[in-house]
Amino acid sequence: MSRRDFHRATEAERRHDLIEATLDCIAEAGLQGATVRQIADKAGVTAGLIRHYFASKEVILQEAYKVLIARLTEKAKNLDGTPEERLSSFIFVNLTEPVANSRSLSLWAAFISRVSVDPALAAIHREGYLSFRQELEQLLADFFVARGVAADPVRDRTLAIAMNGILDGLWLEGCLAGELFGEGELVAIAFSSIEALIGHPIKAPTSTDMDREYRDALRIHHR
Amino acid sequence: MSRRDFHRATEAERRHDLIEATLDCIAEAGLQGATVRQIADKAGVTAGLIRHYFASKEVILQEAYKVLIARLTEKAKNLDGTPEERLSSFIFVNLTEPVANSRSLSLWAAFISRVSVDPALAAIHREGYLSFRQELEQLLADFFVARGVAADPVRDRTLAIAMNGILDGLWLEGCLAGELFGEGELVAIAFSSIEALIGHPIKAPTSTDMDREYRDALRIHHR
DNA sequence: GCATTTGTTATACGCTTGAATAACTGCAAG
DNA sequence: CTTGCAGTTATTCAAGCGTATAACAAATGC
């Protein structure tokens, strides 16, 4: 029974590793599998160290949730190109790897199931949600301006809600049962639904492979 | 310290009560809050009785999940009226009480977060999902036939996926942040999205109050 | 009526949990 | 050097967990 070898790390490193280990544990075994011992084990430290960096287990879960939200939304921010390209990329990014996969969903659902129970998580969630939707609202506003359509904040809000809903739902379906769908099928559905919703065609993202792929799928029901 | 009074119940009653208590516990405190003691307490019995009716805690959770799925989908089955009315009701029912509320979401998310971990739950989930989508596919097929549009299974499958996604997403949004939306707003968004998607207008359900309500909302972005 | 069975309660057990604390390690300041 | 001190490990603790089993209560069969 030898002692675990002592290794000092910077605070940033340790916190990052511990949070990452927490997410891994949740993804692999659900929230119940994320015990301080499991987390510590996965991070290669002993359980006591967690309490040295986080006031309680609740706190590390909250931090992990923040990281997860950031990871799920960061790809959708910082998009570049014309308003149309950005809107198009926004749709695409949210329905493909690395945002859309079963691990993301497991993590997301685990936290969501506690959002209505834990006020701290609820606050984190709401902030993430509003920021995501505002991003989308701005994207839509820019899109309409670029198309020469009059500004209309109410319309943009409603469309953002609708689009967010559609993206969430298709993301969900893809994560839950991705193997039931053809490659690019969900993206194609998203494009055609959203085009229909906002009443304007949207060019696919520049990636030509993907482009062809879901444009093909699109034809399935846009005959 | 008096003994809890002895009360015999039928097997059906007991199982129902215990499952109901399980769902209550999960809704109130998440999966982690659904311990055998908590469940028994809520059902007004002692913990040992659970093992008398269910082989293990896992089993009672599985049964509870089945009940939840049934409850979330039963309203959407057994719809009557013309194909159009049934399709319309399907949309409406899935986005309003009692299907759409925060309790439903908490329960749903709690189980979903374990679907990827627990194969038994995964099987229950898949069955419920496929049955739901097939229901929707049939509804769409009937709708098109009634409209005099040629049958097309591939189209119906794709549209069912898309519609399912849209409904899931809007359901999610409504459950998570219902108070951010006006009454009937999500329903209106659903109708306009789906009408646009399938390329046909859909009459609202017969309930005139609801009708007016979301038709008003619809005008917000269908100006 | 009495024995049997079965639904139910009560208690106990071994284990895991989050947390607290004690012991140890190595760097840094003096 | 050596002395502190902060990061880390190891150990301990009380509480709660799922489960097993024994004790009890009321129907049921004869």
A146, pLDDT greater than 80: yes
Q: Which of A194-198, B41-45, B89-93 has the lowest mean pLDDT?
A: A194-198
Burial, B177: exposed, middle or buried (Cβ in 10 Å; 0-12, 13-18, 19+)? middle
Q: Tell me the per-residue pLDDT of B163-207, one tens digit each, with 9 for 90 and over.
A: 999 999 999 999 988 777 877 889 998 998 898 888 899 987 755
Cβ of A47 near strand D (under 7 Å)? The reply is: yes
pLDDT at res. A158: 87
- Average pLDDT of A154-175? 91
pLDDT at res. A210: 53
% of chain B beyond a pLDDT of 70 = 91
A103, pLDDT greater than 70: yes
A208, pLDDT greater than 90: no
- Average pLDDT of A167-178? 90
Class of the domain covering B61-219: mainly alpha
- Average pLDDT of A54-64? 98
A184: distance to nearest CA of chain B, Å?
12
Note the CA–C1' distance, A36 to C23, in angstroms.
Answer: 21
B216, pLDDT greater than 60: no
A2: distance to nearest CA of chain B, Å?
34
Maximal CA-CA distance, chain A:
73
A219, pLDDT greater than 60: no
pLDDT at res. B182: 78
Provide the sign of the torsion angle of the four alpha carbons A32, A36, A38, A40, taken in this order: positive
- Average pLDDT of B210-218? 50
Angle formed at CA B112 by CA B106 and CA B115, multiple of 5 degrees: 150
Confidence band (pLDDT; 50, 70, 90) for A213?
low
Confidence band (pLDDT; 50, 70, 90) for A1?
low
Note the CA–C1' distance, A20 to C29, in angstroms.
Answer: 34
| Nucleotide closest in space to A32 (CA vs C1') | C17
> Does CATH number 1.10.260.40 belong to domain A1-54?
no
> Where do the CATH 1.10.357.10 domains begin and end in chain A?
64-219
> Does CATH number 3.40.50.300 belong to domain A64-219?
no
User: Residue A147 gets which letter from DSSP?
Assistant: T
Q: Kindly determine whether residue B159 and residue A221, on different chains, have CB atoms separated by under 8 Å.
A: yes
> Where do the CATH 1.10.10.60 domains begin and end in chain B?
1-54
Q: Which of B18-32, B94-108, B188-202 has the lowest mean pLDDT?
A: B188-202
- Average pLDDT of B70-91? 94
Angle between helices B36-43 and B11-33 (to 10 degrees): 130
- Average pLDDT of B17-45? 97
For residues A113 and B176, the answer to whether their CB atoms sit within 8 Å is no
A220, pLDDT greater than 70: no
CA dihedral B148, B160, A188, A81 (to 10 degrees): 110
Average pLDDT, chain B: 90
- Average pLDDT of B106-112? 96
List all nucleotides in chain D with at least one atom under 7 A from a protein Cβ.
7-11, 16-22, 24-27
- The pTM for the full model equals 0.91
Residue whose C-alpha is closest to residue B166's, from A181, A189, A102 = A189
